[in-house]
Amino acid sequence: MKSLNLLTKKDVENIKLIVLDVDGVLVPRGTKIRQAGNKTSFVVKKIAQKQILQIKKLHETGFKVNINSGRGLYFLQLMFSEILPFVSLTYENGSATWFKGKVYQHINSFNKLKKIYSELKKVKHRDIKGFEPKEFIITLHCKKRVAEIEKIVGKYRNLYGIWNGDAYDIGIKKVQTKALGLRRLIKLLGIRKNNVLALGDNFNDREMLEEAGISISADKSRLKGDFCVPLNGKFLPADLVMQKIIQLKTKI
């Protein structure tokens, strides 16, 4: 993997769409969620003003910006409320995309996930923090890995259970990935794979990065890409990437 510093003006010449993951990329990693009985509470991290300005700048420069996240739509709408006119939101690992107020559903996972969901709900363990509200995937927050959950997920050969350090994301293997959303969005926008630059930091970004003309990893230990940026440097990964692209595009 090459350092982002080696990205050239020529590399980005064909790029029309910038795809950004959220956690670890646009905001620091980690979610605070708590479930007590029927009450679920969580903290919504807002993106910083600096990133808002960078996304607006990319938009002005002629790029389309897509946020591609494992989170639910309600959460992303809150997080990105100030810049909704400038972005599309692909959510729950590629399950659907919000674009100009319209929702495009890319998959129907109900029948394949309903059984495991009822099984998971029955598990009692002190390290389980709770389910994050989701429509199409299952996200179960835990303090650390829980063997009982992994045993249940293991029984379902058509499902994945990705542990990202905070939670398990459970969905349909090979299908319900961020790449599905990206492929559908590419069609919707009438562009091609080589027009896409994507940035991610975690295991659930793998398929998405493979679907992009230029891929950037913000965590070399979890993800391969054409280029890489540091996860815990002075600037957030998305900050570095947007700064670099703006620089390349506006420099004469």
Q: Using CB under 5 A as the criterion, which residues of the chain lie in contact with Mg ion when the complex forms?
A: 21, 23-24, 201-202
In whole angstroms, how close is the CB of 201 to Mg ion at the nearest point? 4
Alpha carbon distance 50, 246 (integer Å): 13
Residue 146 or residue 231: which is nearer to Mg ion going by CB? 231
| Shortest Å distance, C-beta 157 to Mg ion | 26
- Closest separation in Å from C-beta 60 to Mg ion: 26
**Cα gap 120→141, rounded to integer Å:** 12
Tell me how far apart the alpha carbons of residues 242 and 59 are, in angstroms, rounded to a whole number: 11
Give whichever of 202 and 217 is closer to Mg ion, judged by the CB atom.
202
Closer to Mg ion by CB, 152 or 182: give it.
182
Query: Closer to Mg ion at the Cβ: 152 or 164?
Result: 164
Between 15 and 25, CB nearer to Mg ion: 25
d(Cα 252, Cα 250) in Å, to the nearest integer? Answer: 6
Question: CB 251: neighbour CB atoms within 10 A?
Answer: 7
Q: Looking at beta carbons only, is 96 or 198 nearer to Mg ion?
A: 198
Residue 50, token pair as written in the block: 């600096």
Q: How far is the CB of 122 from Mg ion (least distance, A)?
A: 29
Close Cβ partners of 91 (under 8 Å, ≥ 6 residues apart): 69, 70, 71, 72, 73, 76, 97, 98, 181
By three-state DSSP, how is residue 240 classified?
helix
Cα(205)–Cα(211) distance, integer angstroms: 10
Q: Which class for 163: exposed (0-12), middle (13-18), buried (19 or more C-beta within 10 A)?
A: middle
| Residue 21: CB minimum distance to Mg ion, A | 4
Q: From the CB of 105, what's the least distance to Mg ion, in Å?
A: 22
